[in-house]
Structure 1
Amino acid sequence: MKSKIVVVDDDAGVRRVVVQALESKGYLVEAAAEGKEAVRLLDSSRPDLAILDWDLPEMTGLQICRFLRSHEKLANVPVLMLTVFSETRQKVAAFETGADDYLTKPFEVPELLARVAALLRRGRDAKSGSEVLEAGPIRLDAGAHTVTVAGEPASLRPKEFELLQTLLASTGRVLSREHLIERVWGYNSKLVTTRTVDAHIARLRGKLGKKGAALIQTVPGFGFKIDKEEK
């Protein structure tokens, strides 16, 4: 089945280049020029990937990203930000909002296509995985992409899910912030700070509730680990 991609950019020239490049690789592509139109399109088409400009009429790319991450059926759609904004603080803001990748304009089409292929591959791997990881009351099903705590569902953003999955896969071992950045953020790791990891851990603990949060231990000077049982 062909992957479906939604492209959102108010620059007609950029939009045309991106759409043509993606269609040349056999992807099914739909496009929008402004924020509210994009939200309607994303909600109706349920794509496998969204490519978002930042500076858009009516809604920004970050606002659209927040919409996706809060949507029950769209929360796991990979997001690639494609924008002229190149400062580190802007890239960090995008990742903290829930973006999976970030590419600045002007860009090379081969790099864009490589990043798209990588994001789609990661999405397929997550859907096809059958791994079930457990620690105490926490149960993560990679195939179903679900997390429960004492039988109750926990709604996690993609990076929170990957972070928990990485910790659970190494239960009992201390993982440094640098290791978590490399595993969860991949080739964008140079754009992510240890503060970003701490912020994601804090949100993750909040969503896992008291029993689940108690399993995520901070090891001062080293990083984090998940214990098998609550202490």
Structure 2
Amino acid sequence: MLYQRTNTINKLISKGGFKLKKIISFILCTFIVLILSSCRSNPKPYKEDPAPAKNMEYKESNLGKTQSVPETPPAETPKPDPVQPSPPAPAAKEPEKKPVSKPLASYSTVLLSSDKDRTYNIKHGAKKINGYKLNPGDTFSFNEVVGKRSAENGFKTAAIIVNGEYEEGFGGGVCQLSTTIFNSADKAGLQILERHDHSKTVGYVPKGRDAAVNYGSLDLKFKNTKKYPVEIRASVDDKRVYVSIWRAS
């Protein structure tokens, strides 16, 4: 039937000219649209998917139930390797304690005079004696070490004792230095070979503990009887005269 309609339309188109051809084309397009519309107006019936119902049943059956989740065993914590105790550090060696050096003996006397030249003579003589060493068996002579008391040897004039009287002379005051040396050497156990009393009592030592010296006549001598060297140290300040005997290296 569709075929017959199409032939009829084609005949009309060929006879009717150009205008008729347009009309027929319009009618043909309209007809095709109607046919297509009729095909779309009959959709397939909708069928429900049975799957959701099953899902609903599953959900309803599991309402109110607590699903047990299998517990995952805790991961084992690796045990640390036992710490090996480090060996104790070697104890620091204590520095060797050097023996405290002490003098074999020491002695001091008080400066009673305020005469500056007298004090100067004592200090001048002490400088000559300080640090003097005696080997075993050596003999100390005050006059040899200090020398002649004269201006040429650096001494000044001060009071000296001559025959129990005071008078001016070079090196006045050195007898207090020789007296202090004598008492220190005697305390150290050195052998006293020569010592002289003053002709007049002096106030800086007890009687019988002085040692008068005069170059060329009176001397102080002692011997080192130790088995090791000894050293004489002498110093003077504004108040006292100091002498000590030390073991020398």
TM-score of the pair, normalised by structure 2: 0.18
- Larger Rg, first or second structure (1 or 2): 2
Query: Could you say which structure has the greater relative contact order, defined with CA pairs below 8 angstroms and 6 or more residues apart?
Result: 2
TM-score of the pair, normalised by structure 1: 0.18
Higher helix share: 1
